[in-house]
């Protein structure tokens, strides 16, 4: 029997040598095997393994591990099964089983990735547009500061601090939310960490880069304008 079945009937005990009744028949347990997953994202199902000859009329699935191309051994497997009185109905490679079992999860992951990428692009474009417009409207203010003796580096630092600060705070809140959601996402993933440092770094860098670029381009134009002209700008 599998470990899941052993835990169900004899938790914390050694089931070898004990018996289990199925359909009125007493079956002795002679070994315990590791759990296997029939479907991803689901707990391993309890399984009872019986000798093939105990139910020769039922369809059986035989798994073979080979060091060469499995399809090259189809004829030999057919001969062995025929000698046992059976017939091979279908032959599939293990990779095909894996692809069939994970197809739905892969499609869902692709769709979610596409939407996530679109959302990131939309956020970056919106962030760039809002900050660029806000900095552009400060042309008159920048002209006044330059007219009374402010240095370009001082003005640039002020604008960057006032523009990047809220974005940094928003990114920090987003990272905190991602950490909080990691436990929920862990239940939806299989052998994948819910937090990917590379993705977090990419999103943070992209947001900060878009913010800095949105500040520098209109700020650069404003600093090049004559202070008297900038003061008349609406």
pLDDT in tens, 143-187: 777 777 777 777 778 877 877 788 888 888 888 888 887 777 776
Nearest to 29 by CA among 39, 21, 37, 20: 20
213 and 133 co-located in one domain: yes
102 pLDDT more than 70: yes
Classify residue 64: in a domain, yes or no.
no
Confidence of residue 129 (pLDDT cuts 50, 70, 90): confident
Between 231 and 55, the higher pLDDT residue: 55
**Cβ atoms within 10 Å of 147's Cβ, excluding its own:** 13
The residue to which tokens 């999103």 are assigned: 203
The 10 Å Cβ neighbour count of residue 185 is 13
Give a yes or no: residue 78 inside a domain.
Answer: no
Q: Distance (Å, rounded) from C-alpha 22 to C-alpha 190?
A: 33
Q: pLDDT at residue 208 above 70? A: yes
Please state, in angstroms and rounded to a whole number, the distance separating the CA atoms of residues 105 and 205. Answer: 29
Give residue 155's pLDDT.
Answer: 78
Tell me how many degrees the CA angle 60-63-64 measures, rounded to the nearest 5.
135
Average pLDDT over residues 105-109: 83
How far, rounded to the nearest angstrom, does the alpha carbon of residue 132 sit from its chain's CA centroid?
A: 33
- Does 26 share its domain with 100? no
- Locate 227 and state its tokens: 């202070």
Q: Look at residue 111 in the predicted model and tell me its pLDDT.
A: 93
Residue 68 domain flag: no
Q: What is the mean pLDDT of residues 109-121?
A: 88
Confidence of residue 124 (pLDDT cuts 50, 70, 90): confident
CA distance 106 to 190: 12
Tell me the Cα Rg of the chain.
Answer: 33
How buried is 192 (Cβ within 10 angstroms: 0-12 exposed, 13-18 middle, 19+ buried)?
Answer: exposed
Residues 219, 144 share a domain: yes
Return the ∠ at Cα 190 (arms to 184 and 195), rounded to 5°: 50
Per residue in 19-65, pLDDT (tens digit) is 888 777 888 899 999 888 766 667 788 888 887 766 666 777 777 88
Do 46 and 113 lie in one domain? The reply is no
Please state which of the ranges 7-21, 49-63, 116-130 shows the lowest mean pLDDT: 49-63
- Does the residue 74 lie in any domain? no
pLDDT at residue 89 tops 70? yes
Assess if residue 70 is contained within a domain. Answer: no
pLDDT value of position 227: 65
Asked if pLDDT for residue 86 goes beyond 80, the answer is no
Confidence at 114, pLDDT banded by 50, 70, 90: very high
**Residue 13 and residue 116 in one domain:** no
d(CA 169, CA 207): 12
Are 23 and 133 in a shared domain? no
Q: Do 41 and 99 lie in a common domain?
A: no
| Count of the separate structural domains present in the chain | 2
Structure tokens, 182: 């990691």
pTM above 0.75, yes or no: no
pLDDT surpasses 70 at 74: yes
Q: Which two tokens stand for residue 108?
A: 């869902």
Position 62 in a domain: no
**87 domain residue, yes or no:** no
- The tokens for 181 are 């959601």
Q: Residue 12: which domain range? A: 1-50
Question: Does residue 233 have a pLDDT over 60?
Answer: no
With CA atoms as reference, report the closest residue to 31 among 50, 46, 44, 45: 50
In a domain, 11, yes or no: yes
Rounded Cα distance between 149 and 5, Å, is 81
């Amino acid at each position: 029997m599998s470990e899941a079945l052993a835990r169900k009937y004899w938790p914390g005990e050694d089931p070898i040598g004990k018996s289990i009744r199925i359909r009125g028949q007493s079956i002795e347990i002679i070994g315990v095997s590791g759990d296997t997953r029939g479907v991803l994202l689901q707990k391993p199902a309890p399984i009872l393994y019986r000798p093939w000859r105990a139910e020769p009329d039922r369809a059986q699935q035989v798994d073979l591990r080979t060091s060469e191309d499995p399809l090259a051994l189809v004829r030999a497997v057919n001969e062995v099964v025929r000698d046992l009185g059976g017939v091979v109905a279908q032959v599939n490679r293990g990779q095909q089983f894996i692809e069939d079992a994970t197809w739905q999860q892969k499609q869902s992951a692709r769709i979610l990735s596409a939407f996530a990428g679109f959302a990131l692009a939309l956020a970056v474009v919106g962030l760039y547009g809002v900050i660029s417009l806000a900095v552009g409207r400060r042309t008159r203010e920048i002209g006044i500061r330059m007219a009374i003796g402010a240095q370009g580096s001082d003005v640039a630092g002020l604008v960057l601090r006032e523009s990047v600060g809220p974005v940094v705070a928003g990114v920090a809140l987003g990272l905190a939310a991602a950490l909080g959601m990691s436990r929920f996402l862990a239940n939806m993933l299989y052998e994948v960490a819910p937090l990917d440092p590379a993705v977090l770094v990419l999103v943070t860098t992209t947001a900060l880069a878009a913010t800095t670029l949105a500040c520098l381009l209109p700020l650069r134009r404003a600093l090049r304008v004559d202070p008297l002209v900038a003061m008349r700008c609406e």
